[in-house]
Structure 1
Amino acid sequence: MQSMINTVKGTALGVAGYLTPVLKESKFQETGVLTPEEFVAAGDHLVHHCPTWQWAKGEEAKIRPYLPADRQFLITRNVPCYRRCKQIEYCEDKEKVIEDEHDEDGGWVDTHHYDNAGSPTVEDKVCEMTLEAADTGDSDGEGAAGDHDDDDDDDEDEDGEAEDMEQFQESGLLDEVDPSTDLAQRKEPKPAKEKKSKSSEGDEIIRTRTYDLHITYDKYYQTPRLWLIGYDEDRTLLSVEQMYEDVSQDHAKKTVTMESHPHLSGPSMASVHPCRHAEVMKKIIETVTESGGEMGVHSYLIVFLKFVQTVIPTIEYDFTQNFAMN
């Protein structure tokens, strides 16, 4: 039933978009919308700073005259998706309210990509490398004494004898079994019911999905619109239900629906409905202004990709510039 409603709405909006005049005057700061020229400028900025995104022309018969022929929409391919949304635990202390208006849709709440638990940050990695470098001294702490006699330590390292590999082999250390590779020391196999998540060979293999993402200009809402289509590891198209597995369940079949691409023929693609994009962008612009900053129209798509990621948190496309609202 919901699918039928979405189809009817999509058809009605398509007609409305056809009849809607092209926005000529900029209203970005006042309402968060874009003219076609501003969309192209923001797209050029995105392509320049994130080359994984490129402009595309689409089909000749579907070229929109209010956009340059060679800049009809943006596309990035083979974006990885390692997990399903249901594998992510929702936790209130990891939510970030982006749009807190009390409406029937509940506003925009970022529940995922601010949560870095389980994955080391850049700072963590740098710290680990620093600690590894510091641990090159022996266990008595002599390595830490290099602050006072670095020259002496270097001389001692150069004069020290190299390890005798034949003696090391005769010691029997090479014959010791690594516990991590010894089958006899592994844990007992799990019950049969839990093995269903494994491959037929019994290996723990992550089946990676990939997505192609498109950004078009929606003439009716006067904002960018995100489209996506997914593939399994064999590059076979995902079914509709499989793609919905990679969409936040708060948005599946509501904010995200299956519709026909405006510039391409073929199977329907999942699309993030743009009805609230301008409202969210206006809220962000106001926040930046209140903090003493100024947001240019060229940054629109950089910010757009960040707040839309709340809908598809496990599709790891956002390698764009950082954006701070203070």
Structure 2
Amino acid sequence: MDNKTCQDHIDHNRALYIFYSSVVVVEFILGLLLNITVIHLFVFKLKFWKSKTIDIFLFNLVLADILLLIGLPVKAYNFQQCSEDKVVCKVQLFLQFLNRGASIAFLTVISIYRYFSIVHPEKRKDLRILKQSPQISVFIWVLLGILTIPAMLQSFIRCDSSEKDELNELNRLNVLLREIVFFTQIFIPFIILVYCLIRIIRRLKQKSVGDKTKLRKAFLFTSMVLVFAICFLPYAITRAVQLKIIGTVMTEEKVTVVKLYDGLVCLSYLNCLLDPILYCLSSSKFRKLYISMYLPFLLKKQQPEGSEDTADD
């Protein structure tokens, strides 16, 4: 939609978009505080570069979430007023796509690593490629940076775009590539996560370990898939519907879909707030360190040192 149409749309739904903007601001504040504390522990306490393979992937996951959160103030502003600066809008979208893609990619790699560790522990030699975690991390960032370039080359829904731009063959190719990357980085990882969850739960039922350990691991992976599904699937499906009905005239149907899409965008940012809880704090070692550093008043409620199984690390 063009800038005037976008502004009219927001003006007619001012209360709703003020609420959206407030939600984004809250997610920004809470998510940034939580992720910064996690980064602090990784860098100054755990020295992640000297730690286990999984710690390097976790660090990159949190880094991607922080970089995504940094752009949220601009997003909150755009929920209330369409940006007149096309370049700023495209840069913000590029960073959004890049860092959300990186967050999903590292989340998927971590899930695959833990899948092999739990379901196929006897095949640790097959994990040698994952031992090259620094190189894999750099590769993921570079690859996603290249694949996200189309977000900078062609207007997006909120970047003051005009339909005549779509007539250019090169622009059509950019749009197609951008949407392929967008949907691929959500649906393929979700399929992988569901597969890993099913196999892990089956394996945990077979292993002769304590019920508490099995429940903890099953809850972790189930929560991981649920959070991913809630944050990203409705957002991606609504995006597909929005692409189908996009046009220069804002009919009532389009207004409804745009409002729903914008609300689900807010929901998708919740992932940045939950990632450190579900993945970083799933390690008993990290959890104890985090509580002792930032929540010492909870220490008296913790179990004795030897009573907690550390098999979830």
> TM > 0.5 between the two?
no
* TM-score band, normalised by shorter chain: under 0.3
Q: Compute the TM-score of the two structures, normalised by the length of structure 2.
A: 0.25
| TM-score, structure 1 as length reference | 0.24
Greater per-residue helix proportion: 2
Q: Which has the higher contact order (CA 8 A, sep 6+)?
A: 1
